[in-house]
Amino acid sequence: MTTVESAGSSLASPPGAGIRKVKDRTATTLVYAAFAIALVPLIWLLWTVVSKGIYMLTRNGWFTGTERGITYRDAGGGAWHAVLGTLEQVALCTAISVPIALLVAIYLVEYGRGPLARMTTFMVDILTGIPSIVAALFIYAVFITTFGGERSGWLVSLALVMLMIPVIVRTTEEMLKLVPNELREASYALGVPKWKTIVRIVLPTAMSGIVTGVVLGIARVAGETAPLLILVGYSPDKNANLFSGPQASLPGLIKDQFSNLGSTTILEGGKRVTVHYAADRMWGAALTLILLVMILNLAARVIARRSAVN
Amino acid sequence: MAKRIDAKNLNIYYGKFLAVSEVTFTIAPRSVTAFIGPSGCGKSTVLRTINRMHEVISGATVEGDLLLDGENIYGAGIDPVDVRRTIGMVFQRPNPFPTMSIYDNVVAGLKLQSGRLRKSELDETVERSLRGANLWEEVKSRLAKPGAGLSGGQQQRLCIARAIAVEPQVLLMDEPCSALDPISTLAIEDLIQTLKEKYTIVIVTHNMQQAARVSERTAFFNLAGVGKPGQLVEIDDTQKIFTNPTDQRTEDYISGRFG
């Protein structure tokens, strides 16, 4: 029998091990530090909005009332008119954007070859970079100046469509590219036509990613303010009609309260106290907007999970 | 129901590049034919021209005639979708549809081809196809589970079940065992022996023992030279190819004196 020598020293401390450890530690520290720094503004922002906004959300009537007849000297007021306006405008925008964006992405990934596809990609790139206020001015020029329409909620939706389409096209394109070609070939080899392969195999496989893209698109447009200012203005009263008159929205409510900030002095328990009703409502609306996007996000994730790849 | 395949002077292109030239062969119904040859010689390419899957790649074209029981599948007015319904295919890597259950994977071809079918018919097809693919006993209690949850060998048999569920005349197999372990490979090889009673089978393989085990006829493909197109060197009875091939190049390849 031969004796097995102890591997000992050479494996325990090979040359250069010390340096490598130092590098490893340094890199680890840097990565964690970067992570912490990135979290600071996020947590700070959330804390500010939640701590200042939660008061209004817990008051009676915030989700049912409106701002009708309420000035910075008055307490109370609600955001229902604004929630309704935002939901309507975003819903119409989504209903228009999603089909167009999906079809464009399908064209680009599954069919697009040659100059037309390159031009489409180029146009989507340009659209991605358009500032929202420019989109709003364009809609204003076409629908109000040229066709003589009136400022109303659906024009906001149209301006938002221009912002939403590129977001959804981009994410959907990436998701469709991730679907392995083998699945398409497996389907073709079964004698399934191309369009049916796309509808029944490719889209379901990419569905959860596509839904994420749609949610990103919604989050992108739900807080847009420039199109509101230009195309619909703001109404402290409820207006459920997308096609006529000024309509409230959450960003609109925030902006309105911000423009009318002011303090007032009241008597509370025999003492004079300075209160900021408008600021409270502004933060309340900000928190409501964040919650709204979050709820839409969660809802979309539940839908996506149902159709997810197992 | 199995059909005979005649290829006549096939020239297969990727764009302007001639990948395989002047391929002519005949494959008898209810037989197993193996395509062997070095990598890049075009055997998979030839296989994919048999059910018009070659042209799925953009720029890929085929010249020549390919007759299925005398009917040219490259003839005018022939829809490649119909060709692929008649000639099924199993791929190198198992590719069950990830969004579908085992059951839905098997009937995917039927459902996507013709839409509404009666539940009883589908149930019957699922059992018959899974039995045909020798997978029924292993999965019958979990048909509603996702197909992607099976092992690699089971997934490949699921793909075979999916291919035979649409009742093709011919079954093409592109290195069906190259991603599988020896036990799963044996299961697939046994399956091929059963399937050949009903189908015409063409199998591409890198494994010469496998070709010798499963096939009655073997075709040897080779490159005509560096940068030149692939070609069919000879096609003959498997027995003859492996013991007494006509062409010196075949003998060199199967005895390992290649290159």
Query: Are the Cβ atoms of A185 and B99 closer than 8 angstroms?
Result: no
Residue A250 neighbours by CB under 8 Å, 6+ apart: A79, A82, A83, A85, A86, A222, A223, A285, A288, A289, A292
Each residue of A203-223: pLDDT tens digit?
A: 999 988 898 889 889 988 998
Do the domain assignments include residue A8?
A: no
Q: How far is A40 from A29, CA to CA, in rounded Å? A: 17
pLDDT band, very low/low/confident/very high, at A310 (cuts 50, 70, 90)? very low
CA B218 to chain centre: 14
Query: Are the Cβ atoms of B159 and A186 closer than 8 angstroms?
Result: yes
Chain B contact for A178 (CB, 8 A cutoff): no
> Choosing among B97, B125, B143, B159, which should be mutated to test the A contact, i.e. which has the most A CBs within 10 A?
B97
Percent of chain A with pLDDT over 70: 95
Query: Are the Cβ atoms of A190 and B159 closer than 8 angstroms?
Result: no
Nearest to A113 among B58, B91, B97 (CB): B58
pLDDT of amino acid B111 = 86
Q: How many CB pairs under 8 A join A and B?
A: 77
pLDDT of amino acid B112 = 86
Residues of A in contact with B159 (CB under 8 A): 186
Query: Are the Cβ atoms of A185 and B56 closer than 8 angstroms?
Result: yes
Mean per-residue pLDDT, A148-162: 93
* Domain shared by A213 and A134, yes or no: yes
Residue A133 neighbours by CB under 8 Å, 6+ apart: A226, A227, A230
Q: For the beta carbon of residue B186, count every other beta carbon within 10 angstroms.
A: 14
Mean per-residue pLDDT, B73-101: 90
Mean per-residue pLDDT, A193-207: 92
Do the domain assignments include residue A90?
A: yes
Chain B contact for A180 (CB, 8 A cutoff): yes
- Hey, CA dihedral for A138, A219, A286, A244, is it positive or negative? positive
Residues of B in contact with A310 (CB under 8 A): 98-99, 146, 148-149
pLDDT of amino acid A159 = 96
Q: For the beta carbon of residue B234, count every other beta carbon within 10 angstroms.
A: 17
Do the domain assignments include residue A130?
A: yes
Nearest by Cα to B21 from B75, B58, B63: B63
Q: How far is B235 from B25, CA to CA, in rounded Å? A: 7
Query: Are the Cβ atoms of A186 and B95 closer than 8 angstroms?
Result: yes
Question: Dmax over Cα atoms in chain B, in whole Å?
Answer: 57
Number of domains in chain B: 1
Each residue of A262-292: pLDDT tens digit?
A: 888 888 888 888 888 899 999 999 999 999 9
CA distances from A237 to A81, A149, A247, A252, B76 (A): 6, 22, 8, 12, 68
pLDDT band, very low/low/confident/very high, at B75 (cuts 50, 70, 90)? confident
Chain A contact for B162 (CB, 8 A cutoff): yes
Nearest to A190 among B84, B99, B149 (CB): B84
pLDDT of amino acid A2 = 53
pLDDT band, very low/low/confident/very high, at A308 (cuts 50, 70, 90)? low
Number of domains in chain A: 2
* Domain shared by A121 and A262, yes or no: yes
Do the domain assignments include residue A1?
A: no
Provide the token pair at B253.
Answer: 């390849």
If one compares A19 and A2, the residue with the highest pLDDT of the two is A19
Q: Which residue has the tokens 């228009």?
A: A96
**Which ranges constitute the DSSP H helices of chain B?**
43-50, 80-86, 102-114, 119-132, 136-139, 152-165, 182-195, 208-214, 238-243, 248-254
Q: How close B202 gets to chain A, by Cα (Å)?
A: 15
Chain A contact for B146 (CB, 8 A cutoff): yes
Q: What is the CATH number of the domain that holds B231?
A: 3.40.50.300
Each residue of B207-236: pLDDT tens digit?
A: 888 999 999 999 999 987 777 888 899 999
* Domain shared by A84 and A52, yes or no: no
Q: For the beta carbon of residue A61, count every other beta carbon within 10 angstroms.
A: 13
* Domain shared by A48 and A93, yes or no: no
Query: Quick check: B52 and B221 in contact, CB under 8 A?
Result: no
Structural domain including A51 reads 16-57
pLDDT band, very low/low/confident/very high, at B171 (cuts 50, 70, 90)? very high
CA distances from B12 to A147, B8, B23, B44 (A): 58, 12, 9, 11
Q: Which residue of chain A has the CA closest to B94? A: A182
Do the domain assignments include residue B259?
A: no
Structural domain including B114 reads 5-254
Mean per-residue pLDDT, B79-90: 91
Each residue of B51-66: pLDDT tens digit?
A: 999 988 888 999 999 9
Provide the token pair at B180.
Answer: 């599988």
Q: How far is B222 from B232, CA to CA, in rounded Å? A: 7
Do the domain assignments include residue B168?
A: yes
